[in-house]
Amino acid sequence: MNWFVLYTKPHYEIKVANALEAMGIRSYCPVFKQVRQYSDRKKKVEKPLLRSYVMLKIENKDRNQVFGVPGVVRYVFWSGKPAIVRESEIELMEKNLAGIYDGISITSIKKGANYTIPLGPFKGYEGKVVNLFKNKIKLELPSLGILVTLKTA
């Protein structure tokens, strides 16, 4: 069995993951806790780490079962084949999504340099610095094929 990537409608990630689990299909929607500031209070909320994406572990022959779940759009493809996520990548995300993260501190970093993320949901991933802002860094993670914005403390 492989881990495949599903593309979902916006804001359906957690609903799709729960519906797949109810069908007996192992799914994983990485979420992180964030403190949101409202006018009258602060609240801890869970947000999907990868918007509109859910990973699921399923046999290749059973892949079409998921299209009965409301919110599922399609599988993600890479080079004409369904995108497969390594088990180690899933385990790394599960291990690192354990706390609330507000920002990271960085001493000196230059554009084009390689940087390993020290904490947070992507802890341990290495990427190339694409852009530097006053308090944000854009980092390209080639292993996941995504661009991450890090907020510095």
Per the listing, tokens 């990271």 go with 104
- Whether 74 is covered by a domain: the verdict is yes
Task: Tell me the pLDDT of the chain averaged across its residues.
Answer: 85
Looking at the fold, whether 67 and 128 belong to one and the same domain comes out as: no
The count of domains in the chain is 2
Looking at the fold, whether 132 and 82 belong to one and the same domain comes out as: no
- Interval 77-122: pLDDT, tens: 988 999 898 888 888 777 777 654 555 555 567 788 888 877 777 7
Q: Name the residue range of residue 71's domain.
A: 2-96
CATH number at residue 77: 3.30.70.940
Asked if the model's pLDDT at residue 138 lies above 90, the reply is no
Which class for 46: exposed (0-12), middle (13-18), buried (19 or more C-beta within 10 A)?
exposed
Taking a C-beta distance cutoff of 8 angstroms, is the pair 31, 48 a contact?
Answer: yes
Upper half-sphere CA count for residue 54 (Cβ side, 13 Å): 30
Looking at the fold, whether 86 and 147 belong to one and the same domain comes out as: no
120 sits in the region (left: phi over 0; alpha: psi -120 to 50; else beta) called left
Question: Is 0.75 surpassed by the pTM of this model?
Answer: no
- Whether 104 is covered by a domain: the verdict is no
Q: Could you tell me which residue, 121 or 15, shows the higher pLDDT?
A: 15
**Chain centre to alpha carbon of residue 69:** 21
Taking a C-beta distance cutoff of 8 angstroms, is the pair 77, 83 a contact?
Answer: yes
Number of Cβ within a 10 Å radius of residue 134: 5
